[in-house]
Structure 1
Amino acid sequence: MHFVTGGAFNGKSNWVRKHYQLDDLEHSWNSAYKGDEIPKLNRQQIIVLEGLEVWIRQMAQNVQADESRQNLKELIRKWLKWESEDQQRKLVLIGSDISKGIVPMAAEDRVWRDITGWVYQDIVSAADRVDVIWYGISQKLK
């Protein structure tokens, strides 16, 4: 699993497309920004999930923070199992960093920010590779 993060509009998606040469490979690109649902895992060689913070917000709206985190940890375990079943498979997760800047005034926005931070920590812990993209330039963290 490869996690790519960084600020909004900093070139994460373009970097992933170039890094994996996605024009030449069979892949599935799913974007929360376009209203896509998290797909069922399939036989694609590469699955890209873009907009994790949006899906996290949707998942956290009706349950407590701890339950949201546990549900997302279970989803991460399923993704890792899918990826491990075939060496050609790769899951690429793209999520914007929403932890910087002013702390939101609305309680639900603060909870979303907290859950997103916790989930990103869980993803980073489980990922094989982690990159931060700022202004189109990558910095490999793991």
Structure 2
Amino acid sequence: MHFVTGGAFNGKAEWVRTFYRLHDQNSSRWYSAYRGDALPKDLPGSRLVVLEGIEQWILQTGEAFNRNAGKEWLAAWLAWEKSGERKIVLIGTDISKGIVPMEREVREWRDVTGRFYQDAAKCCNRFDWIWYGVAKRLK
């Protein structure tokens, strides 16, 4: 699993397309919460699947999403990878910086997303931070 994060509009998707030599972000193996795609229940047989907008899918899941639910997502994705020579690329915007939101629901979303990112960073085999289109490999 490859986890890619960074600020909003910092070039994460473009960096992933370049790194993996992908030309079509609209392919059936690129799912984007930003385009309104649903988080796939069953992943295709492709060798590479990109899941973009993890923080948005967490938001859409609402109060049903907690750390255990996040660990279940990660376990399922890791199992899918191990079922063949496959790779999942998770792209998530870092929402931990800036002013802490006043609304309780937004703070909770930010907190649960941060905990999910911690778990994703621990279980992935590669972790990159993208800042203005430049990657810094952290793992």
Partner of 1:112: 109
User: 5+ residue gaps in structure 1?
Assistant: none
Alpha-carbon RMSD: 1.4
TM-score normalized with structure 2 length? 0.93
Does structure 2 conserve the Cα–Cα contact (< 8 Å) formed by 1:52 and 1:94?
yes
Secondary structure, aligned partner of 1:62: helix
Partner of 2:54: 52
User: Which moves more between the two structures, 128-137 or 38-47?
Assistant: 38-47
Partner of 2:79: 81
Residues paired across the two proteins, number: 136
- Aligned-partner residue type, residue 10 of structure 1: N
Partners of 2:114 and 2:43 in 1: how far apart?
24
Q: Deviations over 1:55-89 (max 9, x none)?
A: 01111x233xxx622112111101001101112x1
TM-score normalized with structure 1 length? 0.91
Secondary structure, aligned partner of 2:5: strand
Does structure 2 conserve the Cα–Cα contact (< 8 Å) formed by 1:132 and 1:140?
yes
Partners of 1:62 and 1:15 in 2: how far apart?
32
Q: Deviations over 1:82-130 (max 9, x none)?
A: 101112x110000000000000000000000000000000000000000
Query: 1:23: Cα distance to partner?
Result: 2.7
- Aligned-partner residue type, residue 98 of structure 2: G
Moved over 2 A (4+): none
The 3 A distance-change label for structure 1 pair 27 and 16 is farther
Query: 1:27: Cα distance to partner?
Result: 6.4
Partners of 2:133 and 2:23 in 1: how far apart?
19
2:69 to 58, 66, 71: 71
User: 5+ residue gaps in structure 2?
Assistant: none
Partner of 2:132: 135
Structure 1 vs Structure 2: percent identity of aligned residues? 54
Secondary structure, aligned partner of 1:138: strand
Q: Deviations over 1:20-75 (max 9, x none)?
A: 00139x8600000111011121201110000000001111x233xxx622112111
Partners of 1:28 and 1:100 in 2: how far apart?
30
Q: Tell me if 1:11 matches 2:8.
A: no
